[in-house]
Amino acid sequence: MEQPVSHIPYGKTGYFNQLVIDFLAEHPNLRPFYKYSPVQPDFEAVIQDKKLFPQQRDVLVAALQEQYEGLDITESVRNNINSLLDQQTFTITTAHQPNIFTGYLYFVYKILQTIKLADKLRQQYPQYNFVPVYYMGSEDADLDELGHVYIDGKTITWPTEQQGAVGRMQPEGFEELIEKVKAAVGYGTYSEELIELLKKAYLGHANIQDATLYLVNELFGRYGLVVLVPDNPKLKKLFVPVMRDELFNQHSYRIVNETIEALSQHHKVQANPREINLFYLTETSRERIVQVGDVWKVLHLPVEFTAASLEKELEEHPERFSPNVILRGMLQETILPNIAFIGGGGEIAYWLELQELFAYYRVPYPALILRNSFLLTDGFSQERLRKLGLRITDLFEDTEELVNRFVQEHTNASLVLKDEYAAVEKLFDDLVMKAREIDVTLEASVASERTRAVKSIGKLEHKFLRAEKKKFGWQTEQIRNLKARLFPANSLQERKENFMPWYVHQGPAFFDVVLEHIDPLSDQFGIIYQQ
């Protein structure tokens, strides 16, 4: 029986870019772009830095209490919200959009890691309190990304014509979507409970952000997770000074571009700033704001402002302004007494562009932590691997390369024609010598024939391998099936699958299992073995 969890370095998975690997290794090329070590952060230093930042905790708590009104919340959630009034309480935050039905498995991993890190820090620093927060990116308008869920090989898509911030959209047509989810997940001990939960979330709330708040609270409230929806006038008002400066002076464009120029010498840039990094929100749209001369226009809408009317709009309706990726983190760190942000590789990449911008606005820059990544395996897959004589880590290889290697290692035939290549090379070396003796111009002809002969051996080698693969048909088919099962669409499971196929069989215990195996400051990819 294999151990319940094992690890593989990110660099050996083949699924993570160099930026992630360099970030974890604190490579000198990347280290200037973030403040604290990602695997051994000096949390006391982060806390002291945050203490110097004026925090309007009463506004935050009032907004949260209003947001949670009418929801059934656990004692730990209530206590965590109230504790945010205390100057010794800090948050650990992860952020994600309100994907329908939570979207990808890594959504669960991010939240559980946030919970685990808060628990760890409470033990490590008993003089402080730490609250895990899920910051909902409800103003995202990318429905192509947020409006589908993948379950057991099937993509279920929400066919809505609504536009604008996804969080504000009405959950129309979810009766049919939930029936599709029910059919896709099949029967399990917790199937009825899960489907009932989805119905209460999406059929019992007016918009997607309220549905997501309800769903996430029901799933993770027992751990004390606090959900924050920043689409709130009270919270946006705290960000007015930065938004005003962005609209009238546009410093972020210059500052972030200077960082990008230095960063891009070694790594691909994740996000590029615009002159104005704010959108204008209405109930049905989220459009860019551009300045044309002395007028600020909202693209694709008959809305424009003079300097005076823009100032008035910002003061009276801050909720109508929505930061893009360049300013989103700044809003988060302004609202929350936050010390650590847990994000995926893409999120870390854009945060690395922002350190100088944070310094300019004197907003403390948090410790950046890469989210944990896992592969969940089952008893069936483990048994198949054992019969094939493969390790789970072998499956991280390209499918065809793995199949070829398997055949070459298990065949009795000599499929790699090394000796034959050597013989051909020797033959043509001799022919070159003869060609020189006869007529030096014949060397080119010999070289041409050498190339043709080497190609011919390569073709034969390929045919030998293909023929031998047929003898290993069952094994190669099993390898392909295992790869497709554990790496759907040749992607990491966590970037494709949803949590529900596991939840219908294990219920809330599924989260407990993952939580147990999470190392909140890990620099390794985890493999969890389940029966």
Assess whether 417 and 342 both reside in one domain.
no
Of 355, 318, 338, 351, nearest in space to 32 by CA: 355
Residue 144 CA to residue 155 CA, distance in Å, equals: 12
pLDDT at 179: 97
415 has pLDDT over 50? no
Assess whether 432 and 351 both reside in one domain.
no
How many Å separate Cα 441 from the centre of its chain?
A: 60
420 has pLDDT over 80? no
Assess whether 330 and 453 both reside in one domain.
no
pLDDT-based confidence at 416, cuts 50/70/90? Answer: low
Give the rounded percent of residues in the chain with a pLDDT score beyond 70. Answer: 94
Average pLDDT score over residue span 51-63 = 97
For residue 182, being part of any structural domain is answered with no
Assess whether 417 and 344 both reside in one domain.
no
Assess whether 513 and 480 both reside in one domain.
no
Contacts of 124 by beta carbon, 8 Å cutoff, 6+ apart:
43
Assess whether 103 and 234 both reside in one domain.
yes
For residue 295, being part of any structural domain is answered with no
Assess whether 220 and 353 both reside in one domain.
yes
pLDDT-based confidence at 418, cuts 50/70/90? Answer: low
468 has pLDDT over 70? no
Assess whether 124 and 57 both reside in one domain.
yes
Range of the domain at 463: 398-489
Phi, psi of 296 (to 5 degrees): -105, 120
458 has pLDDT over 60? yes
464 has pLDDT over 70? no
CA atoms within 13 A of residue 231's CA, in its CB half-sphere: 24
pLDDT at 67: 97
515: part of which helix (H) or strand (E)?
Answer: helix 509-517
**Strand pairing report for 338-343 and 367-370:** parallel
How many Å separate Cα 393 from the centre of its chain?
A: 22
User: What is the amino acid identity at position 140?
Assistant: D
CATH number at residue 36: 3.40.50
Mean pLDDT (the chain) is 92
Q: Can you read off the two tokens belonging to residue 383?
A: 């048994």
**Contact predicate 138/405, CB 8 Å:** no
224-247: b or e for each residue (b if 16 or more CB lie within 10 Å)? bbbbbbbbbebbbbbbeebbbebb
pLDDT at 87: 97
Assess whether 332 and 465 both reside in one domain.
no
Phi, psi of 372 (to 5 degrees): -65, 145
**Contact predicate 339/47, CB 8 Å:** yes
For residue 298, being part of any structural domain is answered with no
The model's pLDDT over 108-134, given as tens digits with 9 standing for 90+, comes to: 999 999 999 999 999 999 999 999 999
Residue 443 CA to residue 449 CA, distance in Å, equals: 10
For residue 496, being part of any structural domain is answered with no
The model's pLDDT over 256-314, given as tens digits with 9 standing for 90+, comes to: 999 999 999 999 888 999 999 999 999 999 999 999 999 999 999 999 999 999 999 99
Contacts of 394 by beta carbon, 8 Å cutoff, 6+ apart:
385, 402
**Strand pairing report for 524-529 and 374-377:** parallel
Give the rounded percent of residues in the chain with a pLDDT score beyond 90. Answer: 80
Assess whether 333 and 480 both reside in one domain.
no
- Residue 281: beta bridge partners? 286
Question: Could you tell me the pTM of the whole model?
Answer: 0.89
The model's pLDDT over 350-373, given as tens digits with 9 standing for 90+, comes to: 999 999 999 999 999 999 999 999
- Region label for 348, one of left (φ > 0), alpha (ψ between -120 and 50) or beta (otherwise): alpha
For residue 250, being part of any structural domain is answered with no
**Contact predicate 208/138, CB 8 Å:** yes
**Strand pairing report for 154-157 and 148-151:** antiparallel
Q: Can you read off the two tokens belonging to residue 91?
A: 């948050």
In the chain, the number of structural domains is 2
The model's pLDDT over 187-218, given as tens digits with 9 standing for 90+, comes to: 999 999 999 999 999 999 999 999 999 999 99
**Contact predicate 65/460, CB 8 Å:** no
pLDDT at 453: 74
Q: Which long-range contacts (CB under 8 A, 24 or more apart) does 16-22 make?
A: 16/345, 16/525, 17/268, 17/345, 18/267, 19/267, 19/268, 19/345, 19/348, 19/349, 19/352, 20/345, 20/348, 20/370, 22/266, 22/267
For residue 433, being part of any structural domain is answered with yes
Residue 217 CA to residue 209 CA, distance in Å, equals: 12
For residue 319, being part of any structural domain is answered with no
Assess whether 138 and 78 both reside in one domain.
yes
Assess whether 17 and 107 both reside in one domain.
yes
Residue for token digits 């070459």? 408
For residue 363, being part of any structural domain is answered with yes
